[in-house]
Structures are given as structure tokens and as C-alpha cells.
Amino acid sequence: MSTAETPDADVIVVGAGPTGLMLAGDLATAGVATTIVERRAEGSNLTRAFGVHARTLEQLDARGLADELVATGSPVRQLQLFDSVHLDLGRLPSRFPYLLITPQSNVERLLRVRAERAGVTFRTGQAVVGVRQDADHAQIELADGSTLRASYVVGADGVHSTVRDAIGQPFPGRSVIKSIMLADVRLDHAPEGVLAVNAVGDCFAFVAPFGDGWFRIFAWDRLNQQPESAPLEFEEVRAVAKRALGTDYGMHDPRWMSRFHSDERQVPQYRVGRVFLAGDAAHVHSPAGGQGMNTGLQDAANLSWKLAAAVRGTAAPALLDSYQAERHPVGRLVLRSSGAIIRMAMVERRPARIARNLIAGTLLKFRPAARKATGVISGIGIDYPAQPGTHKLTGQRAPDVALAGDPARLYEALRSGGFVLVAPGQSLHEAAAPWADRVTVVTPSDSSTPTMLVRPDAYIAWAADEADATQVAAALTASCGAAATSDRLVSHIGGASAGHQQHVDPAARPGADA
């Protein structure tokens, strides 16, 4: 591959599902020239994901999208695992203490509009057949014989990822459930709650609303596991749902039916040179807990700002490697947690199910156990490893700190797309002035709040209970790169008064929905 050619983009994202759209929108909003390549000519009409968890809603809040998405769905504050065992999501320490039930298509719609507004180039109906790279660039080869070149390529092209195969990454694992039946139907009467879900040993069923009068049915029958190619009769779906739920809710008029299987798989490496994997291209697992789409979106949030820093030349050499260090353990955790839920739900013998319910129900009555379980499933309790000797907040999810002035909340300040320094004193604000092109500085309403440098993905990069200007400057250099030159700062700040950070109005930026 010649390195003398002009790249077609800074980053090429393969796959226009939720993960790819989030990633591309973030990059373009940060000023990175981004192209999405998608093999489908039009968006898919298949929705498998229906739940958006609290941490994902927080990530969308930091992009100005959460409130619009929440308006499309219904909140569920108790998540049923099996029989009478529930998780109480209402106690989550979040602005979104619930699971939002809304189809994946709604998430994709909002993310696509954002990406288009931010200037992402879309190349649809083009299949990727190969990937090559050298020390300076990566290149994708398309089925029509053409090529596209960029500084980096991200494979967000799903479980059958061409990018993953092209870079020689194995996808070890195994099938967990075979012959899950899917059907979109009408119901004579909807479930009393937003969701209906239950397992009775030899079968389980799950009912979720699209929000437009249609419902998606997931059903599985231990006694009749057919290959995915086997014809699916509506009566089979209805009979299994009735066995599992005690009623079929008067389902009728199916508009679509299919079978699929669920795997547990994860690639060993999320990064190979200038090529990265995210979402289902990197990890797949059972649908239990509704964590699939959510994990992919959080992969994108973690990777996007790091790639943007690398393109701008402000990234430390190890920054891109931290994507593997931070997200691979999370993928492994989700495989284990969702696998444990589905295996417990599939317990066949009645005595074992009674014991399962007793043990799980008892454990979840203890606040620490319940907090850990809800934290993992919702994503709220997932943190990243920190170096020894750093502040206890380092690597943790940033809480939505109340701020003095406008914006009123930390997650509104994060809509600038860059780092946010939460600092209580004017001297600390002045110390951060040389990084005004990358950092928004805000003042917490509570003066006892620790000084925190918050990453664009809403995790804490550095914190101190009592900080001085020297410490702040050192933290900014370590996380955000060297201070900008005076000419660059004048260009960025314009007429802003000396010694004060510019507060960016998210509504004024292309691609931002306030």
C-alpha cells in the first residue's frame, strides 16, 4: 500500500448499526473526517434490541439525545430475571433509574440524524471484502474493486464481521441457545406491565412493545429445537408463549417470523495495528439482561474520543491501547453476567428452580449484592482500572454533578465533546486556560466537590480533594496533551475574556441536539 496517496478520510467505520453510528457521530462532531461504509443499501427492519440501560442513556444525555429517546419509550424500574426474582432499577444513582423499552430502530434513527448533521460521509450498498494496513494508514477493499484509505478503520460490522476476519482475529466461544423464535404480532390485550417475561424450565418467552401497536415475541422451546432454516409456524410461537407466560395475549396477524441462535464469543484483541473492533464484531452474548446494544454503544463512547485525539496528534502513545485494556474486561464481564442469567433461567427441574429462586431472591434482598447486580446490568457500576496511588474516583463513572450557572449539569457540559474540568476555584480555571481548545471548565454548585477532570466518555481521568494550579496543569497535560500555542488559543476563544474558559453552547455546534 503506498503511503503517498491522500487518505479518503481520517477514520473509516464499517457498519451503520448503533455502534458504528455513535462512533462516527462522535468523531465527526470532534472535527474528524469520517466515512461510514455499510453493505446494506437501506436500514435494516430487524430490531432485536429493545432495552436502553441507564449508563447508555447517560452517554446519550452527554450528546443531547437522551430526552428525545426517552419520549419514544416506556421506563421499566423492575427487571424480571425469572419467576419471582426481580432487580430494582429504581434505586440507581442516575438521572435515568430504569430500563427504557424502545426499539433499536429509534436509537439508530437519532444517531443517524446526528451523524448526518455532523458531516459523516455515508457509503451504503457497498460491501467490504478486505482490509490492509501499514505503519501509516489502513485501507479497505470494496466488492466493486475500489478502495478507501484512512488513518484508522473500525469494524462495527456485527457478529459476521468481515473486518474481524480480514485482520485474522479469531472469535472463540460457543452457542448458548439454539432455535430462538422471533415474531412481530398484534395483541388483543397488552401485558399489564411494559414487558412480559417468564421461564418455566422447558421454555421461556418475552414480549416487548414497538410502541406503535406491534409487539416482538421471543420464544424458546427446549423440547423442539429446530435449525434456523426450518420453517416457523405462527401456532408454534403462540403455543410456546402460552406455556411460558400462561397466556398468549390474543396474539394475531404476524407480519414477520424467524429463528436465530445466541452465541457467547469474544475476540482476544480489540485492536490490531490501525484497525479496531467494536460492538458485536468484538463480542456477542445471550440476550439476557438486554446488554448487547448497550455494550456496543459504550465501546463506541470509549473509542471515539481516543481516535479523535490520535488524529489531532494530542494522544499519548498508550491512549489507543487503553481501549483494549478498558473495554475487553467489560465485554468479558457482560458475557459472564448474561450467561449466568440465561443458564439460571433455563434450569429444567422444578426443585432446582425453587432453589434458584430462593437463593437469588435472598441475595438480592441485601443492598450490596443488589447494588452490584444492578450496577453491572445497567452499566452504572462499571468502572475502569486506575493506576495505583491515584485518587479513588479515578476511572469511575462521573456522577451528574450540579453546576453553578449555565450549563446546570455536568452531562450538559459534556455536550461540548471534549474534556470537562470540574473545579471550584478561579485559580484552577486560569490554570486550565491553555487547554481551552480541548477543555471546558465548570464550577460545581457544592464547593466541597473534588476537583475532577472528566473524559469525553463521562469517566473520571483525574481527581483531587484539594488541587492546586500545578496539579491541574499536570493532569491536563497527561490526559489532553501539551497546552495549545497562543495563536491557536486566540483562534479558538475569539472574544472570550482572558483567564476564563469558553462555555460552548451545544446547540450551536453542527451535529449536536440539545
pLDDT by residue for the chain (514 residues), tens only, comes to 544 578 999 999 999 999 999 999 999 999 999 999 999 987 665 667 889 999 999 999 999 999 999 999 999 898 777 666 778 899 999 999 999 999 899 999 999 999 999 999 999 999 999 999 999 999 999 999 999 999 999 999 999 999 999 999 999 999 888 888 999 999 999 888 777 887 777 888 889 888 888 998 999 998 898 888 899 999 999 999 999 999 999 999 999 999 988 899 999 999 999 999 999 999 998 877 778 899 999 999 999 999 999 999 988 889 999 999 999 999 999 998 887 777 776 676 777 767 776 777 777 778 788 889 889 999 999 999 998 999 999 999 999 999 998 999 999 999 999 999 999 888 899 999 999 999 999 999 999 999 999 999 999 999 999 999 999 999 999 999 998 765 555 455 444 433 333 333 333 333 333 2
Cell numbers standing for residue 77: 424500574
For residue 488, the model assigns a pLDDT of 54
The rounded distance, in Å, linking the Cα atoms of 148 and 140 is 5
167 contact partners, CB below 8 Å, separation of at least 6:
131, 155, 272, 273, 275
Helix H segments across 313-349?
321-345
For residue 4, the model assigns a pLDDT of 55
Helix H segments across 3-89?
18-29, 54-61, 66-70
Global confidence as pTM? 0.90
Q: For 455, what's the count of Cα atoms within 13 Å in the CB-facing half-sphere?
A: 26
Letter string b/e over residues 45-67, b meaning 16 or more CB atoms within 10 A of that residue's CB: eebbbbbbbbbbbbbbbbbbbbe
- The domains of the chain, with CATH numbers, are 9-50+103-171+267-345 (3.50.50.60), 174-264 (3.30.70.2450), 410-508 (3.40.30.120)
Strands (E) located in 156-251: 173-186, 196-199, 203-209, 215-221
Cell numbers standing for residue 428: 484552577
Cell 426450518, located at residue: 230
The rounded distance, in Å, linking the Cα atoms of 283 and 206 is 23
Q: 220: which strand partners?
A: 204
350 contact partners, CB below 8 Å, separation of at least 6:
201
CB count within 10 Å of CB 241 equals 27
For residue 509, the model assigns a pLDDT of 31
Dihedral of the alpha carbons of 305, 329, 88, 352, in degrees to the nearest 10: 160
Instruction: Write the pLDDT tens digit of every residue in 319-366.
Output: 999 999 999 999 999 998 887 777 776 676 777 767 776 777 777 778
The rounded distance, in Å, linking the Cα atoms of 202 and 128 is 41
The rounded distance, in Å, linking the Cα atoms of 301 and 320 is 13
510 backbone φψ class: left, alpha, beta (φ>0; ψ -120 to 50): beta
Rg of the chain in Å (alpha carbons): 24
* 3-class secondary structure, 76: strand
Cell numbers standing for residue 37: 461504509
The rounded distance, in Å, linking the Cα atoms of 43 and 297 is 18
